[in-house]
Chain A
């Protein structure tokens, strides 16, 4: 049951979200095709995080419709579970389970949700740890890893569920500068493989090189959405121009 274009894997229509009386999202319309890479940027408090957190229902929207891979997000727990099984998410502060080793972090959801056997889950976990280039850290606890390594583990953990869509909520904002590129490398690699991605980030270089479309949000609205070349070289709105001049000034 997909209301929009049949290629759309994510479709938001007139979505509104309130926190009390504060309106965090105002009439959001957004379509994302399968395999599309979207970067969302904007000043803090503009609703970027809220937007992607609505897509896997970490936040409930108040009105409008959100359809993800054919499932409409409503109060129906079944649909929410179905969406969450297909959508991976990476958080700003990693949120690795501190009481489990790295490999156990990766095995938990496949075992519980996908009912994978121990050995299957272990193999999958090691395969993705190889992919993010830290298989040697498998038996360490998250607190023993650097920030960049923790974030790569978090990406691997999401990938272990074989998601069709990946959401990134400012994945490099909590990292020391020298660790940002190792995380962006993994994300670029993922994009090259055709993963559908929505990424909230301030890394404009990443947006320029990887994104198919860049969304600019301000005060809960989508102000502008364009391919990166157009977006950076020829911003339409005054607000976008101001924002870009601020983030690109150094």
Chain B
């Protein structure tokens, strides 16, 4: 089997034209997903069953089904419903980009809220008691004691989820979006050279992953200044 270097050099710039879309999908759904995750977390730990129960059901459904199926349901399924087409969200749901963002957000939100919950549960009970003994209200304890420590505890698992989300953006190519994977598939369809094209695509994704890892590593080091002495 021959290995066409010229084809690779030719197609990499083309695929990189999709990196903007890949990054948009990543950053937008990461930001919205994190917001959703925080809301879900607060509902889950509110101690009120009527808030916690729907949250648990939501997390179960979105963690328990393939994200590809979720994308298909949102993109192909929702437009079949009249009230969706009549709603103010239709301009967003009409576009494949809006559907991809929605699916990725709903999916990552479910995962991240569980990651954050792990962080919150990991905060030493004694610290919360010390806050209580000093007269701090529940809200103050949550903001000033639990949250900063929980963030540090949750960060390694969260960076994992962002990488996972970055890879999931490739699924947007299945609903006509021309992100890097979408462009790669188009090139493959024209050139019948899947090996060269997809290998190059992998390398681009690996570089992105490396950059995400480095960024989180840096944030983790900043947030762990105070514990380094213990190790």
Contact = CB atoms under 8 A, between A and B. Distances in A.
Q: Is chain B a partner of chain A in the same complex?
A: yes
Q: How large is the interface on A (under 10, 10 to 19, 20 to 34, 35 or more residues)?
A: 20 to 34
7 contacts: A85-B135, A88-B133, A91-B126, A98-B149, A99-B152, A108-B136, A158-B133
A95 B126 CA distance: 6
Contacts of A161: 134-135
A98 B145 CA distance: 9
Contacts of B228: 143
B130 A95 contact: yes
Would you list the 9 A-B pairs with minimal beta carbon distance, nearest first?
A: A95-B130, A109-B134, A89-B133, A141-B226, A84-B135, A95-B126, A113-B135, A85-B135, A143-B229
A84 B145 CA distance: 17
B148 A84 contact: no
A108 B144 contact: yes
Q: A58, A85, A88, A97 — which one has the most chain B CB atoms within 10 A of its CB?
A: A97
B171 to A, nearest CB: 38
A99 B230 CA distance: 13
Interface of A: 56, 58, 81, 84-85, 87-89, 91, 93, 95-99, 108-109, 112-113, 141-144, 154, 157-158, 161
B135 A95 contact: no
B152 A112 contact: no
B129 A81 contact: no
Contact of A157 (B134, B140, B144, B230): B134
B41 to A, nearest CB: 19
Contact of B144 (A56, A85, A112): A112
B1 interface: no
A99 B130 contact: no
Nearest to B225: A141
Nearest to B230: A143
Interface in B78-128: 124, 126-127
Interface of B: 124, 126-127, 129-137, 140, 144-145, 148-149, 152, 225-230
A112 B142 CA distance: 13
Given A99-B226, A141-B229, A56 B126 contact: no
A98 B131 CA distance: 12
Contact of A81 (B126, B137, B227, B230): B137
A56 B134 CA distance: 10
Dominant secondary structure of chain A at its interface with chain B: mixed
A91 B130 contact: yes
A58 B228 CA distance: 31
Contacts of A81: 135, 137
Contact of B132 (A84, A154, A157): A84
Contacts of B129: 58, 91, 95
B221 to A, nearest CB: 14
Contact of A93 (B126, B131, B230): B126
A85 B133 CA distance: 8
Q: B136, B149, B225 — which one has the most chain A CB atoms within 10 A of its CB?
A: B136
A99 B126 contact: no
A56 B136 CA distance: 13
B219 to A, nearest CB: 14
Given A109-B131, A112-B140, 4 more contacts: A84-B135, A91-B126, A141-B226, A154-B130
A86 B144 CA distance: 21
B225 A58 contact: no
A58 B133 contact: yes
A56 B129 CA distance: 10
A236 to B, nearest CB: 34
Contacts of A143: 226-230
B139 to A, nearest CB: 10
Nearest to B149: A99
A210 B130 CA distance: 25
Contacts of B131: 97, 109
Given A84-B133, A108-B134, A109-B136, A97 B145 contact: yes
Q: B131, B134, B148, B226 — which one has the most chain A CB atoms within 10 A of its CB?
A: B134
A142 B126 CA distance: 15
Given A81-B135, A113-B135, A161-B135, A97 B130 contact: yes
